[in-house]
A = this chain, B = another copy of it.
Amino acid sequence: MKLKIKDVATAAGVSPATVSKVLTGQEVAYAINAATAERVRRVALELGYVPDAAARNLRTGRTGQLGVVLAATSPSEPVGELGELNAAAALRRTFDGAILAGLGEAARQHGVPALVVYPEGPEGEAARFLDGRIDGLLVSRDPLRPHQLLDHLDPQRLPLVALWTQQTPDAVGHVDADHRGGTRLATEHLLRLGHQQIVYYGAGREGPEHFALREQGYQDAMRAAGLGGGIQRTHASGRLVSLVEGGCTAVVAETDLAAAAVARTLNVAGLRVPQDVSLVGFDDMVGAEFIAGGLTTVYHPAAEMAAQGVVTLLARLAGHPPERLLVPTRLVVRRSTAPR
């Protein structure tokens, strides 16, 4: 049967309490005798003793586990529908994968036993199920649609850190990628290449939080270059083509997927990337290498962001005030941009 702390105690000739003290390795007022501690550790290792998590959790009131709520990917949004361009859902899974990779790795490095993952579901459900299972929660919201999970959780009872958003209540920290800085980088790159008439392709302010930020980054760069008057945005292919015919030589797209659409539109209109138009995307999604012969884009640091999320949450658990962090992006230059 499974070993109990008492078995180890007997084998080592000490009391269960001593074993506990040695194994938890905590700071005690009066330390444990080094020889005793060593003996206990050796015996525990030899016997292969592993403390029972449930008992420990019950006693201490903590679990040493962190929770993550991932944005739901509903089954009604299949990935890779026959012949159809619906990479958006797949893309979200890519980010989920990167986020999990980042979270998991960081958790391990920081000695957190495990991550409890819960897919977003009916409001409050996650809160109820996770209650008592975790010490703190990371909420990875889907930037493409709002959700109210944060409203259903009490940050006083359960320390919270939100990922992938910059809009959180005071008691909730957050970690997001620096979307605004990213498009700024992209636009500056085009400016450096001599482009002046640069159009932003995207939903912009009318879109979700991140898209609004991305457009602002473009505007920041344009204004800083004294081209504030030339700020243009469209999400209509027809308009884009006429803008290019009217002298625009570069496009900043709000996502790689949008960039792919732009590339296709330009191609149909007989315009070549990058000879006629330079094109920059955002996300550096899997497959960006294949868009427009190799898309220059902004790397979205999902894994890094997630790792920061763990750090931030652990700091929160240690009593530090909520932090608000932006993880820097970086430009990935490929072949879709060229000097004017």
Question: This chain: how many copies in the complex?
Answer: 2
Q: State which size class the interface on A falls in.
A: 35 or more
Which one, A30-38, A213-221, A285-293, is touching chain B? A285-293
- Interchain CB contact (< 8 A) of A119 among B52, B54, B104: B104
Complex Cα distance A82/B288, Å? 12
A54, A68, A87, A332 pick with most chain B CB within 10 angstroms: A54
Stretch at the interface among A12-20, A110-118, A168-176, A185-193: A110-118
A72-80, A222-230, A243-251, A319-327: which lies at the interface: A72-80
Contact yes or no, A101 B96, CB < 8 A: yes
A205 within 8 Å of B by Cβ?
A: no
A340 contacts partner chain B, Cβ-Cβ < 8 Å? no
- Is A50 part of the binding interface, using a Cβ–Cβ cutoff of 8 Å? yes
Which residues of A come within 8 Å of B, CB atoms? Answer: 50-55, 57-58, 61, 63, 65, 67-68, 70, 72-73, 75, 79-80, 82-83, 85, 87, 90-101, 103-105, 107-108, 113-119, 121, 128-133, 260, 284-291, 294, 299, 303, 330, 332-334
* A90-B286, A114-B118, A114-B129 as given contacts; A73 in contact with B101, CB under 8 Å: yes
Q: Which residues of B contact A132 (CB under 8 A)?
A: 50-54
